[in-house]
Amino acid sequence: MAQSEPEKAAPAGPTPAFSPLYQQIKVLILKSLQAGEWKPGDMIPSEIDLAARFRVSQGTVRKAIDELADENLVIRRQGKGTFVATHAEQQVQYRFLRLMPDSGDLGSEGPAERQIIECRRLRASGDIARPLALRTGEAVLQLRRVLAFQGTPTIVEDVWLPGGPFKGLTAERLAGYGGPMYALFETEFGVHMVRAEEKIRAIAADAASARLLDVPQGEPLLSVERIAYTYNDVPMELRRGLYRTDTHHYRNVLS
Amino acid sequence: MAQSEPEKAAPAGPTPAFSPLYQQIKVLILKSLQAGEWKPGDMIPSEIDLAARFRVSQGTVRKAIDELADENLVIRRQGKGTFVATHAEQQVQYRFLRLMPDSGDLGSEGPAERQIIECRRLRASGDIARPLALRTGEAVLQLRRVLAFQGTPTIVEDVWLPGGPFKGLTAERLAGYGGPMYALFETEFGVHMVRAEEKIRAIAADAASARLLDVPQGEPLLSVERIAYTYNDVPMELRRGLYRTDTHHYRNVLS
DNA sequence: CAGTGGTCTAGACCACACT
DNA sequence: GTGTGGTCTAGACCACTGC
C-alpha cells in the first residue's frame, strides 16, 4: 500500500477511478467484517495495529473507521476500542423500528410482547423474489408475527427470508428467543443487517389484519415495507408491517 | 483561542464541560451563519482564511466545517469553496419531502402544480402555539395548499407560521413564486429551515380533504406532521400534510 | 499504569474549477 | 497558474477506561 495510486494499474483505463487511500483501507476493513474476521460485538484491532497492518498512517485508518462508524457498521468507544456493531445491545431495543408511543418519549414502555402466528417454507413468487434478488420459485421462509405494547396489539408483520442463509429457522427457535429478531439472525445465522429502506403507505385494514390487531376492518393502518441489507448491499429480508397509529406514530428526522 | 481549554475558566464549576477546539470553532461559524454574515447560497471564507481568523490550524477549521456539512448547513464543493446551504437549488426540489412516485425513481415527474387554498392570520390555539414555542393567542399565519403531480392532487397541507417573523406573507406572494416554499422563506423573510421532525400516521380522509384530493371520504391517507427548525433548534413552522399513497409512497432509509 | 480513541498541529502534495 | 477543498503523514498531547 504505497501511495494514493489506484490499487490496480489498469492498462490505459479510460476512467482512472481515483480512490483515496482511506477508501481503499475502508474496503479492506469491510472485507474483514464481511468475512467474519471480527464478529458483532467484538473489538476490532486498534487504529495503531491496523495502521501497521496496512502500512499507512494512523490518521488514514482513522478516517476509514470514521466512515464505518458514520454508517453504523462499527461503534467507537473512547478509552476502550472500536467494536463491530450489533443488534444485540439493550441500548436501542429495535434499531430499525421507528414507531414511537405518542405519550412516552422513550421506547421504554416495557418490552414488546411477541407472538409468532406462523412460519412456513415456500417457493418465492415473483413479487417476493425480486426484492430479495432471488429467482422466482426459489425457497423462502415466510413468517408472520404480532407485536403488542402494554397489552395492545400494535404491529402485525410478514417477513420473507431467503431459504439458503436461513436454513433451519423455525417458529420454535424464534419463540424461545428473548432479543430482537436481527440479533438472533446474527448469532444463529451469521447474517448481520446493516441498512434498510422503507416504503410507507396508508392502507385500510383487511379482515385478517383487523382481527390480529383488534381494530375494525377498514381501519387506516400504516403499511411499512422494508428491505434490509447485509454488507455489500445484499438484500436479506423483505418485511411488510402494518402499524396501528392511534396510540403510536412513525417518527422521522429530516436534515 | 490558545489551547483546548474551556473558553471560560468557570470558578470551581463542578462539570468543566470540556469542549474540543473544533467544536468551539463550529459554534463561532454557526453564530456567523445565524447572524446572516453569509447568506444562503453564499460562499463562506476559505478554510485558510477561517484558520487565520480564529488563530487555529486549518485542520481544526476543517473538522468544524466537516460537521456543519454533515448536518447539511453548508455544502463543500471541491475546487470552488464552501457554501451556505439553501432550499433554492434545483438539485433536490423539495429537500424535506420524502414522497416518491411508485414508478419513476426520481422526483422528476415534472414540477408539482401548486394551489393556495387559503391564507389567513389568526390567534394560535394551544395545540398550535405549543409546538411553535409561542404563547396561546399569539398571532400566527395559517395557510392551506394542494400539490398535484401530473394532474393528480396528491398532497393537501396546512401550514402554521409564527406571525412575527413572517409578517407580510400573503397568498399572492406565495402564488406568484416559482420555487419551494422554504426558498421563499429564505429570500423574503431570512428564515432558513435547517432541520425537521415528522410524526407519521394513517388516518381516514375527512370530507374536506377528500374533496381536495379527489378521493372518497374515509380513504386511508398518510398524515405527516412536521415541525421545522431554524438555527439553534428554534421551531419556525408547523405543518400537517395529508398524502395520497396510491401512486406515491413515503421513502425512508435506515442505518 | 498502559492502552485506547480523540484532538491539534504543520507541512507536503493531489484533485478540481476557474480564468 | 491560482485558489479551493481533499488526502496523507508524523508527531505531540489529551481524555477516558480498566488493570
Bases on strand C under 7 Å from any protein CB: 3-11, 14-18
Contact between A96 and A196 under an 8 Å Cβ cutoff? The reply is yes
Superfamily classification of domain A99-250: Chorismate lyase-like (3.40.1410.10)
Confidence of residue A92 (pLDDT cuts 50, 70, 90): confident
Is B250 in the A-facing interface, judged by CB distances under 8 Å?
yes
CA dihedral A194, A199, A201, A206 (to 10 degrees): -70
CB contact (8 A) between residue A252 and residue B72: no
- For residue B196, what is the nearest residue in chain A, using CA coordinates? A254
Cβ-based neighbours of A14, under 8 Å, separated by 6 or more: none
Q: How many residues does chain A have?
A: 255
Quote the minimal CA–CA distance from B73 to chain A in Å: 9
Higher local confidence (pLDDT), B11 or A242: A242
Q: How far apart are CA B236 and CA B229, in angstroms?
A: 5
Please provide the distance, in angstroms rounded to a whole number, between the alpha carbons at the two ends of chain B. 37
Q: What's the pLDDT score for residue B92? A: 72
For residue B102, the Cα-to-chain-centroid distance in whole angstroms is: 25
Does residue A104 reach within 7 angstroms of strand D, measured from its CB? no
> Model confidence over A192-236: pLDDT tens digits?
999 999 999 999 999 999 999 999 999 999 999 999 999 999 999
Confidence of residue B93 (pLDDT cuts 50, 70, 90): confident
List where CATH 3.40.1410.10 sits in chain A.
99-250
Q: What's the pLDDT score for residue B109? A: 77
Q: What's the pLDDT score for residue A21? A: 97
Considering the entire predicted model, what is its pTM?
Answer: 0.92
Is B201 in the A-facing interface, judged by CB distances under 8 Å?
yes
For residue B143, the Cα-to-chain-centroid distance in whole angstroms is: 17
Q: How far apart are CA A96 and CA B13, in angstroms?
A: 39
Q: In CATH, what number does A21-84 get?
A: 1.10.10.10
Residue B222 with chain A: CB contacts under 8 Å = 200-202, 222
Distance in Å, residue B246 CA to nucleotide C5 C1': 49
List where CATH 1.10.10.10 sits in chain B.
21-84
Residue A195 with chain B: CB contacts under 8 Å = 253-255
Q: What's the pLDDT score for residue B151? A: 93
Q: Indicate whether A16 pLDDT > 70.
A: no
Angle between helices B58-70 and B21-35 in degrees, nearest 10: 60
Q: What's the pLDDT score for residue B108? A: 61
Q: What's the pLDDT score for residue B103? A: 87
> Model confidence over B5-56: pLDDT tens digits?
333 333 444 455 689 999 999 999 999 999 999 999 999 999 999 999 999 9
Cβ-based neighbours of B133, under 8 Å, separated by 6 or more: B234, B235
> Which residue is associated with the grid cell 383487511?
A206
The nucleotide whose C1' lies nearest the CA of B58 is C9
Q: What's the pLDDT score for residue A89? A: 82
